Structure 1
Amino acid sequence: MVVKSKLVSMHVADLNDTFQMLRRYKLRLNATKCSFGVGSEKFLSYMITHRGIEINPAQVKAINSLQPPRNPKEVQRLTRMTAALNRFISRSLDRRRPFFQLLNKWKGFEWTEECSLAFQQLKEYLSQPPIMSRPEIDEVMFAYIVVADHAVSLVLIRVENNV
């Protein structure tokens, strides 16, 4: 959980609201896993900046430096690495589906053209990943819902006023 305030002067009030909500629902935090006063830096494998929550560039670099997997263990490594970035990848399951299908095949390993294409598209997508940010009050948002045979996902997209 990240509590991020727009103004430094409002941060204590925002923390107070958060703690009141935690108390109301009888939720507890592990004090050894809490950090306070985190500025623009890496936090829980994400980058917290003034713009919002971003992918840690080291994770993107690690994926971009990967060679195409040559065996199931390397595919598992790729799927673990991309799972950590799941919330930043639109239609994540669809993009990673060829890798999961490859792992479900127990009769031999075959890195197909479909896998190569998905791998390359994933790297290209991660070259300009989205930034998660809090919407403004009364801001118009679009909800995109994707329903497939294997997954359901939803994303809220901010409407940019280019007037």
Structure 2
Amino acid sequence: MILLIPVAFLAAIALVMFFLLRSLKVALPGNRHWAGWRRVVVAATFACAATTTASYSLGAIDLMSTVAVAQDGGADSAPFPYNHPCRAQLKGAVGYDVQFLTLRTVCVMEDGERKAVDDVPQGVRVTAAASMACTAVLAGIALATRPHVHASVSGRR
């Protein structure tokens, strides 16, 4: 898992740069595909997609480091090392589950109760969710209002 962290980081940087460059390409004059207010909506969609990618990747990389810490092993590592969020924040945790969709680590307690810990900052989770919603709404608006080009079908014999 530790080897995936730099790969995820580089992929996130590449995607963020792609979305930012697409946003600039749409926003700069000379783009004939999008005109008027649609240009602003499409540029904002790409900017929101860049924010979504950056914030979600930051949270996912943080969760990957949590898993890497748990797999580290060594002395005093049963059920996980001392610096694992479940052990550092809760007493009596015996297991954990990493949820990448919601960017959370959920600890399993001795009695079977499941408690979430603060390993990914709340601001990162809120930013990822809000920017994803923004991206979806703006992309929907951009797609719903794009000009439709009707191709004429020539008669073939």
- The structure whose RCO (Cα within 8 Å, separation 6+) is larger is 2
TM-score (norm 2): 0.24
Larger helix share, 1 or 2: 2
Instruction: State the TM-score, normalized to the length of structure 1.
Output: 0.23
Larger strand proportion, structure 1 or 2?
1
Greater Cα radius of gyration, structure 1 or 2: 2
